[in-house]
Amino acid sequence: MLRLSTLEGMAAGGVAGTGERFLSAYGLALGATDTQLALLASVPSWFRALAQPLASRAVAALGGRKRIVVTFAMLGGFAWLPILALGLASTPHIVYWLVAFATLCHICNALVGPVWSSIMAEIVPPRLRGRYFGRRSRWTTIASMAAFLAAGGILSLMKVNPLAGFMLIFAIACLLRFVSVFPLRTLTDPPLDPRGDNGGDLLAFARRLPSTNLGRLVLYMFAVHFFANLAGPFFVPYTLRELGIGYLTYTLLEWVSIAVTVLVVTNWGVAADLVGNRRMLAVAGLLVAVSPLLWIVSGNIVVLVVAEALLGFAWAGFDLTSGNFLLDASTSRDRTSTLAYVGAGTALAASLGALAGGALASHVPPLGNGSQLQTMFLISGVLRLGAWALFMPMIREVHDVAPLAPLAPLALTRLLMGGMAARGRPTAFVRASTLLIRSLRRNAPRLAAAPARRR
């Protein structure tokens, strides 16, 4: 069953790579204005955040978590059909229809995500969660980027008729979403607590945040995503405009972080299984705070490569360890609503951070070289570090773990080399890196439309 779940993750990653990553480009091909592109980027995300808290109520209404997952995954596949059909339409409001159908896709995904996580938390033993979810995340990312490359190739081959190219890749996204439904149908849905989900009251959940271990973790996650997105929107204009870096170099920089994420995400899980999620979250959180500061050190390409590598390494660990900590700290009775509220709150925090950053950027003093954007990177890093210093001492490990001192060298080895170190094959890391770099060189021209990532 776990292998089928990994295959389902790869299919879902293919949907993201062929569909979601190209919606903005599709909007441009349909004649979207800058304002309409902003709506396309923001409206679906806001509705996704608002829909997630409804997941636990949907479970109660339809009478089972598996039914919710299968039903809305299927509806999410059908939602791609009107999106691709817009390529044949000629209505003057075509972009607004694209926003509406993209929002429908996001709502379906929002209702699937926390419910699926709730089921998997009960299927995967706690001692294996770090290793399993790290491996699944790795294969999902690989599938997503392979699909992205393939979709970019299709659009390149069909550049004479780009709308036809978009329709084809969205048809593939639709097909892959339907493929992902078959593994979901094999899920075992453990019986729910007969007392129902006691986390369903949003106000009660919010009141508990400052006083519980889980709540302090959630507040820390909200703070990190808010502060990260204060600077997040400005790395692209800083790289392309202020540093004068070309699209090819920019694309390769983006892919450094993606490549590092693919190579190390399982390693974070292995290390967390060994010494505990809280300890590894502390390491990842500190690295997430430091990562934007490298961008103000120098515009030298070597420094930027190191910064991007640290970015991928840090966020891979933060996402994995915080997600696994949430599964450990929540109970089976309230897990669905907890994950839904956290997903919604994280999305809202990120959106509000971006809005606050946009309002603040033109009013901050420039740093030594006259860049206000570097000032935003500094503010973001310092505030992340402050959140880390405030919340991490208050967060406690859920499970009993061994003392750190005797395990620290082994945990560090597993973090850097993962299972390869245990099997005595460190050259596999070098071989994988070499193959990935060769792939980047071959496919870099197709990747110039890669979306912005968190910094």
- Residue-wise pLDDT tens digits, 265-302: 778 877 887 778 888 899 999 999 998 888 888 778 88
Side chain identity at residue 338, one-letter code: T
22 contacts 172 by C-beta, under 8 angstroms: no
Percent of the residues in the chain that have a pLDDT greater than 90, as a whole number? 19
Mean pLDDT, range 200-216, rounded to an integer: 83
Could you tell me the two tokens for 71? 């039903």
Does the pLDDT value for residue 371 go beyond 70?
yes
Residues 6+ apart with CB under 8 A from 387: 220, 223, 224, 227, 289
Helix (H) or strand (E) holding 342: helix 335-360
130 contacts 269 by C-beta, under 8 angstroms: yes
Does the pLDDT value for residue 447 go beyond 80?
no
**Whether pTM exceeds 0.85:** no
- Residue 444: CA count within 13 A, CB half-sphere: 17
Does the pLDDT value for residue 222 go beyond 90?
yes
Could you tell me the two tokens for 337? 């609503």
**Top-confidence range, 2-11, 71-80, 440-449:** 71-80
Mean pLDDT, range 427-448, rounded to an integer: 41
Side chain identity at residue 431, one-letter code: R
Alpha carbon of residue 55 to chain centroid: 19
pLDDT value, residue 179: 92
Does the pLDDT value for residue 170 go beyond 90?
yes
* Ramachandran sector of residue 418 (left: φ over 0; alpha: ψ -120 to 50; beta: rest): left
Does the pLDDT value for residue 428 go beyond 50?
no
Does the pLDDT value for residue 402 go beyond 80?
no
pLDDT value, residue 413: 60
Measured in degrees and rounded to the nearest 5, phi and psi for residue 449 equal -90, 15
Mean pLDDT, range 392-403, rounded to an integer: 79
Return contacts of 247-254, CB within 8 angstroms, 24+ apart: 247/448, 248/444, 248/445, 248/448, 249/301, 250/448, 251/444, 251/447, 251/448, 251/450, 252/440, 252/444, 253/304, 253/305, 253/308, 254/308, 254/447, 254/450, 254/453
Helical packing angle, 94-123 and 335-360, nearest 10°: 140
pLDDT band at 454 (very low <50, low <70, confident <90, very high): low
User: Residue 403 has what DSSP assignment?
Assistant: -
Helical packing angle, 94-123 and 65-78, nearest 10°: 150
Does the pLDDT value for residue 398 go beyond 60?
yes
Percent of the residues in the chain that have a pLDDT greater than 70, as a whole number? 82
What average pLDDT does the chain have? 79
pLDDT band at 446 (very low <50, low <70, confident <90, very high): very low
pLDDT value, residue 82: 93
Task: Give the 3-state secondary structure of residue 402.
Answer: coil
- 97 vs 129, which has greater pLDDT? 97
Q: Give per-residue pLDDT as tens, 23-32.
A: 877 887 888 7
CA distances from 244 to 62, 410, 451 (A): 54, 42, 19
Mean pLDDT, range 180-195, rounded to an integer: 76
Burial of 382 (0-12, 13-18, 19+ CB in 10 A): middle
Mean pLDDT, range 325-343, rounded to an integer: 81
R_g over Cα of the chain: 22
Distance CA 16, CA 73 (A): 13
User: Residue 191 has what DSSP assignment?
Assistant: P
pLDDT value, residue 443: 44
User: Residue 54 has what DSSP assignment?
Assistant: G
Find tokens 């968190």 and name the residue. Answer: 454
Distance CA 64, CA 396 (A): 32
Does the pLDDT value for residue 316 go beyond 70?
yes
Mean pLDDT, range 306-335, rounded to an integer: 86
Distance CA 349, CA 338 (A): 16
Full set of structural domains in the chain with CATH? 1-186 (1.20.1250.20), 199-398+406-448 (1.20.1250.20)
Alpha carbon of residue 422 to chain centroid: 28
pLDDT value, residue 66: 85
Mean pLDDT, range 436-441, rounded to an integer: 42
pLDDT band at 335 (very low <50, low <70, confident <90, very high): confident
The least confident of 189-203, 243-257, 292-306 is 189-203
Alpha carbon of residue 241 to chain centroid: 26
Alpha carbon of residue 115 to chain centroid: 17
pLDDT value, residue 87: 87
Q: Give per-residue pLDDT as tens, 96-127.
A: 999 899 999 989 988 888 888 888 878 888 77
Residues 6+ apart with CB under 8 A from 33: 95
pLDDT value, residue 385: 95
Does the pLDDT value for residue 392 go beyond 90?
yes
Alpha carbon of residue 189 to chain centroid: 25
272 contacts 319 by C-beta, under 8 angstroms: no
Does the pLDDT value for residue 160 go beyond 70?
yes
pLDDT value, residue 121: 79
Alpha carbon of residue 16 to chain centroid: 11
pLDDT band at 425 (very low <50, low <70, confident <90, very high): very low
Q: 279: closest CA among 160, 440, 150, 398?
A: 398
Does the pLDDT value for residue 376 go beyond 50?
yes
